[in-house]
Chains A and B, each alone.
Chain A
Amino acid sequence: MDHPFAITLDTGTSLANHTGSWRTSRPVYVDRLPPCNHACPAGENIQAWLSHAEAGEYEAAWRVLTQDNPMPAVMGRVCYHPCETACNRAQIDEAVGINSVERFLGDEAIKQGWKFSPLETESGKRVLVVGAGPSGLSAAYHLRRLGHEVEIFEAGPLAGGMMRFGIPKYRLPRDVLDAEIARILDLGVTLNLNVKVVNILETMIMRGFHAAFLAVGAHIAKRAYIPAGEAAKILDAIAVLRSMEGEAKPLLGRRVVVYGGGNTALDVARTAKRLGATDAIIVYRRTRDRMPAHDFELEEALEEGVMMKWLSTIKRMDDGVITVEKMVLDATGFPQPTGEFETLEADSLVLALGQDVDLSLLNGVPELNIKDGVVQVGANLMTGYPGIFAGGDMVPAERTVTVAVGHGKKAARHIDAWLRGGAYEPAPRHEIAAFDQLNAWYYADAPKTVRPMLEMARRRATFEEVTQGLDETNALYEARRCLSCGNCFECDNCYGVCPDNAVIKLGPGNRFKFDYDFCKGCGVCAQECPCGAIMMVPEAI
């Protein structure tokens, strides 16, 4: 068609006008570090696996998760989820139930029988792992995936460490633990039980290990001097919990007093209740707010009838009676004796005053730095002795399963690099995706699901798992509450809100690209990106 000159124009002619020249700042896509990822001691890419989970791609989610942490079913039960504490969603309604979803994925993996992908290469190197607790198992897993030959020497009769011998069954069922351990061993990790390493250097040389990761944990109960009569029954918490794994359950009597304020104290008290104690009383020298135990565990314990005796220390124990002194906090928060006493009837006293590490295997190893009962390590988790690495409760750190698992991964990477003659350089971290970078409007109001709890009567009577998991609908719901902080989830907002049609959609999974020929730099895309994955940077003029 012949068009009248100038009055009539053909379509597409505006594409000659490159309005990109108007810009004074340009949008760029960024990947920011979600606070959950940042907070996870095991370094899980939480946002990434939640992204798979919310699409119903559970296996893919599990595989992403297990890139970093081989035991999600365990984590989903015992981890204190600092990810949830850091979660930006809490500023809209409540934190995403990351822990619940992790548990769901872990349980699903066990149910479906998913296995880790087979290895591609073998390095020919041999690494010794001492201790089959969470740290050791994690290190073994990661080392094996990196292609190294791994052998675990575990002093005890079963693998699991504190997961088996410290955490009660009602929090972590043993079949779950066994399944996740088995899956690690199926990668080709050799587990030697009932083997206590007495001298690490000798063992390494004799058995031909190129490097070692020590994760013996802290299994020695701290003691306090408490004057006691002959018949006074005083036990330590570790022994009590350990003996729960055996056939013979500990006999604690009808009235049990537990001394200490940590999670172990609570675990023992709740265990005592389940064993049939009428009274389980925790004596703690300070107050609730100073108690190291997690508040939710205290809540559960109180619901189950555990009683608390705050601001009290134990002076002595005689047969059936404990003498307690009342304390008062001074100006610095330190408890001071008041001189007032009272008595408690008790069949047994369980001490839960902390744990120490058995460092005997390190005897004779030069260049080590041992301080405060733990081994000092560098940022690469290597001790002073080259080739000997350590992690978990035996190094200075917060003592949780997740931290231990994180150490295992980190050590494995450093060991791997060290074995190759180099050093592992972790990638520089992106800036953290803060809440004020999000556009919260785009997230629908959706409060957190709450994991169903076992009814009280059953809780008290049995060791069945107290906290139930989410079913699929709930897990999906929960995963979809994730804001995907700092990471594009292909919501199409930028593609839709650009007044200049200057965002190119690259297709599912490929995100978007800015058409800088036409982008005028208005910044609406950055403003309307729900997850803060677009940043405006000044143009170099």
Chain B
Amino acid sequence: MTDVSTTSAVTQKLRFYQKGTFTVGNRLVSERERSVQASIDRSNALTCGHRACQGCGEALGARYAIDAAMRATGGKLIAVNATGCLEVFTTPYPETSWQVAWVHSLFGNAAAVATGVAAAMRVKGRGDVRAIAQGGDGGTTDIGFGCLSGMFERNDDVLYICYDNEAYMNTGVQRSSATPPAARTATTPAIGSEPGNVFGTGKSVPKIAMAHGIPYVATASVADLHDLERKVTKAMGIRGARYIHVHVPCPLGWGSAAHDTIRLARLAVESGLFPVFEAEHGHLTASRKIRRKVPVTEYLQPQKRFAHLFSSEHGPQQVAKLQAVADRNIVEFHLLDQEGDV
């Protein structure tokens, strides 16, 4: 055989695990390198028998996040839940599908209740037991905003996770301040010259969280499990106020097929409409780059809440505006730069 030096061998950048690099698990890598969800020993903090709709993104996001937090804390976790879909479909008397210590108080106070839980743990010398507050976009960006800001400002040792399905779903799909522009909801009908939710309204709670200067802020998506778990794990390694905003599709509220939940979450990220990034003490530190960029239409078309964009005369203009939003995000969060850039 000839030796290597005399052959014109094509050198390849060796990446061993290209089959299954993005999957939940991979039998070719060590258990340690696989996701929490791949493990037969995962906590299943949220187990079967709950009453979420078929294909519920929030049910998925919650299990992903809390299982990761359970592993990160060795099971020493107390979860505080705001009123909303997640609370309602998991704890209808006499059934609960939570397998972690869990409390539900009110719609707008999850952050404050978690502060109380964290304080109680500290005062009892159980500082190893951590508190997580979780709620939907309604309970976080609107009615829960005051308590959220208070928790941030005090830098309480609470991780707040918001599952953002972009409307008040549990009460019948009403608009929240997290509803994207042009989306049809029960309170922003697709009628008139500006059908759906109005452009120029709404707020970005991740950016507001950054403005509080808290130790860690991140956005994540159910489409990228590894990234979500990494962020939750990282957050649990930090003391102080932390915020993670998870994008979770809602088949019922978005008018999409139940099986499309992860696909749509992925398209939201790949179009730039949902930027995935991390920040510490108010400064952007990393962003997840778009792998295969798509135009926003690819994301919008499978959702009935955007159907009017493709059938009305004002549609193309709104699509163009949404594309502009996505393009701005790409610039602002460096979503198409090389890895290594922020």
Contact = CB atoms under 8 A, between A and B. Distances in A.
Q: Judge A-B direct contact (beta carbons within 8 Å).
A: yes
A110 to B, nearest CB: 12
B48 A518 contact: yes
B16 A455 contact: no
A18 interface: yes
A468 B98 CA distance: 58
B54 A521 contact: yes
A520 B20 CA distance: 26
Contacts of A228: none
Contact of A10 (B15, B23, B56, B96): B96
A497 B60 contact: yes
Contacts of B263: 527-528
A203 B16 CA distance: 56
A510 to B, nearest CB: 11
A9 B7 contact: no
Given A480-B28, A524-B261, A495 B38 contact: yes
A495 B24 contact: yes
B10 interface: yes
B81 interface: no
A476 B16 contact: yes
Interface string A2-29: 0000100111111111110010000000
Interface in A486-525: 489-493, 495-497, 499-502, 505, 507-508, 515, 517-518, 520-524
Contacts of B50: 14, 17, 19, 500
Given A9-B91, A499-B60, A523-B258, A489 B19 contact: yes
B99 A18 contact: no
A441 B264 CA distance: 13
A468 B2 contact: yes
A404 to B, nearest CB: 28
B14 interface: yes
**Of B35, B46, B55, most A-chain CB atoms within 10 Å:** B55
8 contacts: A14-B90, A55-B27, A441-B266, A443-B21, A491-B25, A496-B225, A501-B48, A527-B259
A458 B316 CA distance: 63
B12 A13 contact: no
Given A9-B95, A492-B37, A523 B55 contact: yes
B74 interface: no
Contacts of B56: 499
Given A11-B99, A524-B262, A464 B23 contact: no
A87 to B, nearest CB: 13
B48 A444 contact: no
A454 interface: yes
B54 A495 contact: no
A444 B18 contact: yes
A18 B19 CA distance: 35
Contacts of A526: 259
Contacts of A491: 20, 23-27
A446 interface: yes
B57 interface: yes
A497 B24 contact: yes
B51 interface: yes
B47 A14 contact: yes
Given A443-B19, A520-B55, A522-B54, 9 more contacts: A22-B54, A444-B18, A444-B22, A454-B2, A491-B23, A523-B259, A524-B60, A527-B259, A528-B263
Contacts, number: 195
A153 B170 CA distance: 80
Give 8 nearest A-B pairs by CB, closest first.
A492-B25, A496-B24, A523-B259, A14-B49, A14-B97, A522-B55, A522-B54, A491-B23
B34 interface: yes
A323 interface: no
Contact of A452 (B7, B17, B27, B251): B7
A444 B19 contact: yes
A76 to B, nearest CB: 14
A453 B8 contact: yes
A464 B19 CA distance: 35
Q: Which of A10, A458, A477 neighbours the largest number of chain B CB atoms within 10 Å of its CB?
A: A477
B191 interface: no
Contacts of B225: 496
Interface string B214-255: 000000000001000000000000000000000000010000
A499 to B, nearest CB: 4
B14 A477 contact: yes
Interface string B38-54: 10100010111111101
Nearest to B48: A518
A19 B2 contact: no
A482 interface: yes
Contacts of B2: 454, 458, 464, 468
A355 interface: no
Nearest to A10: B96
Nearest to B104: A7
A54 interface: yes
Given A490-B25, A499-B60, A527-B262, A480 B19 contact: yes
A452 B12 contact: no
A220 interface: no
Nearest to A506: B40
Contacts of B17: 444, 480
B47 A15 contact: yes
A507 B44 contact: no
A499 B248 CA distance: 12
B260 interface: yes
B200 interface: no
A489 B27 contact: yes
Interface in B246-301: 251, 257-263, 266, 292
B94 interface: yes
A54 B17 CA distance: 9
B95 A16 contact: yes
Contacts of B71: none
